Amino acid sequence: MSPNLHARARALLSDPLTNKGTAFTEEERDLFGLHGLLPPHVGTLESQIVRRRRALEEKENDFQRYAFLRELQDSNEVLFHALVQSDLPRMLPLVYTPTVGDGCERFSEIWRRTRGLFLSYPNRERIDEILADPAYDKVKVIVVSDGERILGLGDQGAGGMGIPIGKLALYTACAGIHPSEVLPILLDLGTDNHALREDPLYVGWRAPRVRGAEYDAFVERFVEAVDARFPGVLLQWEDFAGKNAYDLLGRYRDRLLSFNDDIQGTAATTVGTLLAAVRRTGKALADQRIVLFGAGAAGSGVAEMLVQAMMAQGLDETAARTRIWAVDRDGLVLSDFPRLPPQQRKLARDPAEIADWDVDGRNLVSLHDVIANVRPTVLIGTSGQKNAFDERCVRLMADGVERPVIFPLSNPVSRAEAHPEDLLDWTDGRAVVGTGSPFATPGITQVNNVYIFPGVGLGALAARARGVSDGMFMAAARRLSELGGATGGLLPPVTDLRHVALEVAVAVARCAQEEGLAGAGSEATTRDAIAASMWAAAYD
C-alpha cells in the first residue's frame, strides 16, 4: 500500500464527517486501504447504535453520558446523530438542557479536539483568515455566543461553546440541517469569572472581559467577516448578557439573516404554549392577568410578543400592556426607577397605580406583593431564581383562580422557579404547568425553545429570507399552539419534533413570502419541498 493511501485511510477514519467505523463495507475497505485499521467485522448503522447505546447507559451519571456523546460526535457524526434521532426523549436532555449546563461548567475538563471556532480577542485581526478555511464552504447555519450568560449559570467564558455545539446538534436532529452545514462559534472576549481565569485547566483567554467600544468593534469585525464569507447564512445569537443581547439584535437583524433565540425564540415558544394553555382555562389571552418574574432578555422578549398576541385579539397596545406586570431583581418594574434599560421602560408601571397597594416591604414591591394585589391568572418565570415561586405565592395565586397557569421556565433544573409536583400540590392539581427544564412529573409540558428555533431557521433558509421578522416568529408561535393536545400535553411529544420543525418551517416560510422577505419562489416553500431538504442520519 502506498504512503498516500495509508494517509488517506487514516484521514478518512479521523474525520467525523467521513468515518463509518465498522460500517465500512468490504469494498470500501479495499478501495480506501482500511484493512487492518478496523476489526474484520462489518457492521451496520443499526448495530452501531445498539453498541453505543449500551455503552452510554453504563455511564454512572448524565454528565458522563454528555461527555460520551460529545466524544462520539467528534469521532462519527452520522452515528452520533442517528443515536440522537433514534430516541429524542432520552437524548435531548443529555445533548442539551439540562445536562449542557454541566457541560459548559466543565468544558475545559473534557475538551479533547476541535469542534467549531474560538474567535479570541487577541486574534481579532485574523478572523477573515480563520473563516476562510475550505472546510466551512457548505455552512448554512451559525450559532454564536460570547459565553457571558449561559443558561442561568452566568459567565462561563470559553466553556460557553457547549451552547452553540448543543443548539446545532438540535438543528440537525429536528430540522435536518446536515452536520457539514453547521458551524458553532465562541467569541472569546475574556471572562469575569475569576475562578475560571485561575483554573489551570481553563482553555479560554485568561483576561477580564472586553467591554464597551472595543467589544462593539470586535463584534462588528466578526459580522463583516461572516457576511463576506457566508452570503445568506443564518446566524443565531445565543446566551449574550441582557444589554448586549438587545443591542446586537437591534444592530444586526437587518444586516444579516439572524435572530436571538433567548429573546425571540423563548418568546415564541412561551407564547405558543401559553395560547394552548389558556384554551384550557376557557378564557382568551387578552383576558388574562399576567405576572412575569424576570425582565431580562428572555422575559422582556416574552412580554413584547405577548403584547403583539393580545393586540391580534383586539386590544390596543396600551390596553395590552396593562395586562402584564413585570417583576425583576428590584421588585415590580416602575417608571421612576433610575437607569431602566430600554426593553424594561415599555414594561414599567406608573407608581401612582400602586399607591394604595398593601405591600410587605418599603424598599421594593415583591413578587408576593404583586400577586396579592393583581391576583394574576398567569405566572411566568424567566428569572433563574430557584424556588422563587414558593408555596405562599402559589397558594395565594390559586385562591380564586380556577385554572392558574404557571410556567417556571428557568433552566437548568437547579435554577427553576418551582418544581412542577409542588405546583400541582399547592393548587390541588388545578394548575396548568409548563417548565423550562425536563422533569419526570407526568403530564408536564417542557416549554423548550427546541419547539421553535429549528423550524424558524429551516423556514427562513427555505424561503431564502432577507431577515427574520417579528411576524415570522408570531407565525411560528401560532402554528406551535395548534399542534399540541393529542396526548394531553400543551405541546406535541418530543418524539414529534421533526414534524414540529417542518410545520413551523412551513408557517415561517409562508410568512416570509407574505411579508415580501423571501428570495425564493413559492415552490421552494411548500411542505413537500421543505421536507425533502431535511437530512436524516444515514451512511452514504
71 is in an annotated binding site: no
Number of Cβ within 10 Å of residue 151's Cβ equals 25
The answer to whether 355 touches 338, Cβ cutoff 8 Å, is no
Closest CA to 301 of 406, 368, 408, 382: 382
- What are the φ and ψ backbone dihedral angles of 467, each rounded to 5 degrees? -175, 165
Gap between the Cα atoms of 161 and 200, Å rounded: 18
The answer to whether 372 touches 399, Cβ cutoff 8 Å, is no
Question: 335 — alpha (psi -120 to 50), left (phi > 0) or beta?
Answer: alpha
Gap between the Cα atoms of 450 and 183, Å rounded: 18
448 is in an annotated binding site: yes
- Cis upstream peptide for 342 (omega within 30°): no
**Could you tell me the end-to-end alpha-carbon distance of the chain, in angstroms, rounded to an integer?**
25
DSSP state for residue 204 in the 8-state scheme: S
From the candidates 66, 136, 167, 451, give the one annotated as an active-site residue: 167
239 is in an annotated binding site: yes
Gap between the Cα atoms of 430 and 416, Å rounded: 20
% helix / strand / coil in the chain, to the nearest 5? 55, 10, 35
Adjacency order of strands within the sheet including 117-120? 117-120, 182-188, 141-145, 234-237, 257-260
Number of Cβ within 10 Å of residue 331's Cβ equals 17
The answer to whether 147 touches 161, Cβ cutoff 8 Å, is yes
From the candidates 66, 96, 202, 451, give the one annotated as an active-site residue: 96
Radius of gyration of the chain (CA): 24
66 is annotated as an active-site residue? no
Closest CA to 177 of 141, 136, 144, 142: 141
Task: Find where cell 433514534 sits.
Answer: 86
280 is in an annotated binding site: no
238 is in an annotated binding site: yes
167 is annotated as an active-site residue? yes
Gap between the Cα atoms of 156 and 162, Å rounded: 10
Q: Show the cell assigned to 498.
A: 421533526
Residue 39 CB burial class (10 angstroms; 0-12, 13-18, ≥19):
exposed
Cite the annotated binding site by residue number.
149, 238-239, 262, 411, 448
Query: Binding site for (S)-malate: what residues are annotated?
Result: 149, 411, 448
Active site residue ranges = 96, 167
Q: Which residues are annotated as a binding site for a divalent metal cation?
A: 238-239, 262
